[in-house]
Amino acid sequence: MVNIAVLGYGTVGSGVVEVINTNHESINKRANEEINIKYVLDLREFPGDPVEKVLVHDYDVIVNDPEVDIVVEVMGGIEPAYTFVKRALLAGKSVATSNKALVAKHGPELMEIAKEKDINFLFEASCGGGIPIIRALNSSLTADEIDELTGILNGTTNYMLYRMSTAGCNFEDALKEAQAKGYAEKDPTADIEGYDACRKIAILSSLAYGKFLNYEDIYTEGITRITPEDINYAKEMGMTIKLLATSRKIGDNFYAMVAPFLIGQESPLYSVNGVFNSVFVHGNVLGDAMFYGSGAGKLPTASAVVADVVDEAKHLHRNIMTNWTSRPLTLMQLDEVEGRFFVRVKGTTLQQVENVFGEVQVISLKEYPDEYAFVTSNMKQGIFKEKALEIEPFMVSMIRIKD
200 is catalytic: yes
Our finding on whether 156 is near ligand HSE (CB under 6 A) is: yes
Closest separation between CB of residue 387 and ligand HSE, Å?
A: 35
Q: In this complex, which beta carbon is closest to ligand HSE, that of residue 37 or of residue 125?
A: 125
Contact residues for 47 (Cβ-Cβ < 8 A; gap 6+): none
Q: Which stretch binds ligand HSE (CB under 6 A): 20-28, 64-72, 182-190, 311-319?
A: 182-190
Closest separation between CB of residue 296 and ligand HSE, Å?
A: 4
Residue nearest ligand HSE (C-beta atom): 156
Q: What's the first-to-final CA gap in the chain, in angstroms?
A: 51
User: Rounded distance, CA 160 to CA 360, Å?
Assistant: 30
Q: Are 250 and 282 in contact (CB under 8 A)?
A: no
In the region spanning residues 124 to 153, those forming contacts with ligand HSE, defined by CB under 6 A, are 129
Q: Which stretch binds ligand HSE (CB under 6 A): 63-71, 108-116, 143-151, 179-187?
A: 179-187
Q: Are 394 and 402 in contact (CB under 8 A)?
A: no
Measured over the CA atoms of residue 367, residue 370, residue 374 and residue 379, the dihedral's sign is negative
Q: Which stretch binds ligand HSE (CB under 6 A): 142-150, 178-186, 211-219, 393-401?
A: 178-186
User: Rounded distance, CA 388 to CA 187, Å?
Assistant: 34
User: Rounded distance, CA 52 to CA 159, Å?
Assistant: 35
Cis-peptide into 80, omega within 30 deg: yes
User: Rounded distance, CA 142 to CA 137, Å?
Assistant: 7
**How many chain residues are in contact with ligand HSE, going by CB under 6 A?**
11
Binder of ligand HSE out of 295, 307, 308, 373 (CB under 6 A): 295
Q: In this complex, which beta carbon is closest to ligand HSE, that of residue 191 or of residue 230?
A: 191
* SS3 of the chain: helix, strand, coil, percent, to 5: 40, 25, 35
Our finding on whether 155 is near ligand HSE (CB under 6 A) is: yes
Our finding on whether 296 is near ligand HSE (CB under 6 A) is: yes
Pairing type for strands 219-220 and 253-264 reads parallel
In the region spanning residues 100 to 129, those forming contacts with ligand HSE, defined by CB under 6 A, are 129
Helix (H) or strand (E) holding 379: strand 379-380
Q: Are 155 and 131 in contact (CB under 8 A)?
A: no
Q: How many CB atoms lie within 10 A of CB 285?
A: 8
Closest separation between CB of residue 126 and ligand HSE, Å?
A: 7
In the region spanning residues 256 to 285, those forming contacts with ligand HSE, defined by CB under 6 A, are none
Q: In this complex, which beta carbon is closest to ligand HSE, that of residue 110 or of residue 131?
A: 131
Our finding on whether 154 is near ligand HSE (CB under 6 A) is: yes
Binder of ligand HSE out of 82, 84, 121, 183 (CB under 6 A): 183
Q: In this complex, which beta carbon is closest to ligand HSE, that of residue 153 or of residue 208?
A: 153
The residue annotated as part of the active site, out of 93, 200, 211, 402, is 200
User: Rounded distance, CA 294 to CA 297, Å?
Assistant: 8
Enumerate binding residues for ligand HSE (CB under 6 A). 129, 154-156, 183-185, 191, 196, 295-296
Catalytic sites, residue numbers? 200
